[in-house]
Structure 1
Amino acid sequence: MRVALVQMAAGTDPDANLTTIERLTAGLDAELIVLPEAVMHDFGTPTTLLGPAAQDLDGPFVTALSALAKRQRAAVVGGMFERSGDDDRPFNTLVVVGPDGELRTTYRKAHLYDSFGYRESDRLSAGEPRPVVVDLGGLHAGLLTCYDLRFPEHSRALVDAGAQTLVVPAAWVRGPLKEDHWETLVRARAIENTVYVAAAAQCGRAYSGRSMLVDPMGIAVAAAGEAAGVVTGEIRPDRLAEARERNPALQHRRAWPAYAGPDGAAGSEP
């Protein structure tokens, strides 16, 4: 499967963002197009209200992605703010649209970015912690959003649910060592799970860029720098099978008991 990772700096004008998406994806030869997190409407400043920006799943943003998918004859994954039961705190949601324009599935970000001095939970609601895997023409893709990368158990749950590729839209905030964390975590999730990782990130003043398609051995098949643009690469089932034969770590897993403390039976020392 040929994958296109779209790297761009979204703003707070959804129509302008859609214009940029259409420009960057025009004429792409890809079966899967991955857009960044919050590509419908950026987070803005820490005081930007996200509730008024949220849309329903049958709103103009998803409708536009549906038209894009049909026009490009490709599956499209992208991030939006979805209305929730809390008018002030919408969901941070990924939508997956098939080449036929039909909405295939959604994933509401489970791990909100309350880290590095930022509090995403002040403005957004967390989704339920459940693995979301979607079949895209025979490729089983597991969905993660940005900060989810820091939780290896989330990726492993997706792989246990059948994911062969992890799709990771992100708006990875710049900062000391943050770019290094991004690259390390994308490669680590690929290596430890022997899967492809297709990570499409926002760029610009606030975000790190560096979108990457990493293969099951941790090799960057395609990678971007800091600028807006598109990078493409191939997800190859034979490469996946070869990697899992050479590195059968998933077959070697042992069940580890939870640590119950120094006086507990599980994990205690004599």
Structure 2
Amino acid sequence: MRVALAQVVTGRDISGNLDIVEKFARKAKEGGAELVVFPEATMRAFGNSLIDIAEPLDGPWATRLRSIARKRDIVIVAGMFTPGESGDAAGSDSGNRGRKVRNTLLATGPGVDASYDKIHLFDAFGFAESDTVDAGTRPVTFELGGISFGLATCYDIRFPALFTANADLGAEANIVCASWGAGPGKVDQWRLLARARAVDTTTYVLACGQADPATEGVETKGSAPTGVGHSAVVSPLGEVLDELDAGTGLLFADLDPAVVKEARTKLPVLANRRTF
């Protein structure tokens, strides 16, 4: 199966961000991809209000995303924001104070409709995602073209147990959508973690992040994680098959479940593990 990672810079305008999705979905389909992955916060970039745009999975933003996927005959995975348990959909007349959202991945397209809420919230490096976001509670996988995909979001990549849980559910590839925070050593950590999670679970890792906004001339302020680029596809034995630089781009890769099977024969870490 051919897949694509769309490394983009999204902004405040949620409609404009969908235009970006449509543009890159078209390019991905033209390149032969059956699946295209977009970053975390595709709906709206971090550093902007999220409460006022959070909507349910049948709301207008998600509905248009599904429409794009149908139009292009491709499965799309993209980050959006849905209402948390303490909040309602955007537009309620009771005000937004005290409400939270969920940091959600929507996977949609021919034969696929799944969603995952980020479990591990980014309360690190001076940022407190839990101030505005409710955590998810369960791993999620979906099937496409004979391959099972697990879902994860950004900070999740630092927690091997989620990736193992996805593998236990049958995942042969793990998708990680991110808006990675910049800082000393952070790109190296991103690369290291993507490779480690691949070897931990003998799965492909499709690690798709927001591009560095500076490469598009976009200025950012504060501590919000707005992306560093370096999206990559990693093999089940930890080899980086391809990687983008910091700027906007589209990365293609071909996945073969036989490669996963071979890796698990050579390195049966899932079968050999012990619990304590």
**Match of 2:153?**
145
Distance 1:173 1:4 in 2: 22
SS at match of 1:163: coil
Residue-by-residue CA offset, 1:79-104 (whole Å, 9 max, x unaligned):
1010123232110001110225x6x1
Percent identical across equivalent pairs?
41
Give the superposition deviation at 1:253. Answer: 1.3
**Match of 1:185?**
193
Give the superposition deviation at 1:49. Answer: 2.8
5+ long unaligned stretches in structure 1: 257-270
Of 90, 105, 108, the match for 2:101:
90
Of 109, 114, 124, the match for 2:118:
109
CA RMSD of aligned residues (A): 1.3
Distance 2:116 2:150 in 1: 10
TM-score (norm 2): 0.87
Of 31, 36, 46, the match for 2:34:
31
Give the superposition deviation at 1:72. Answer: 2.2
SS at match of 1:26: helix
5+ long unaligned stretches in structure 2: 88-98, 215-225
Distance 1:86 1:139 in 2: 36
Distance 2:64 2:33 in 1: 18
Distance 1:96 1:25 in 2: 13
TM-score (norm 1): 0.89
Give the superposition deviation at 1:245. Answer: 1.5
Structure showing greater radius of gyration is: 1
Q: Is the 8 A contact 1:27 1:72 kept in 2?
A: no
Distance 2:273 2:85 in 1: 40
Give the residue type in structure 2 aligned to 1:233.
A
**Match of 1:54?**
54
Distance 2:18 2:109 in 1: 18
The runs of at least 4 consecutive aligned structure 1 residues that moved more than 3 Å come to none
Give the superposition deviation at 1:71. Answer: 2.1
Residues 13 and 240 (structure 1 numbering): CA distance in 2 closer, same or farther, change over 3 Å? same
Residue-by-residue CA offset, 1:195-240 (whole Å, 9 max, x unaligned):
0011110012431111111110111222111111110001111211
Give the superposition deviation at 1:24. Answer: 2.2
Give the residue type in structure 1 aligned to 2:24.
L
Deviates more, 1:15-24 or 1:113-122: 15-24
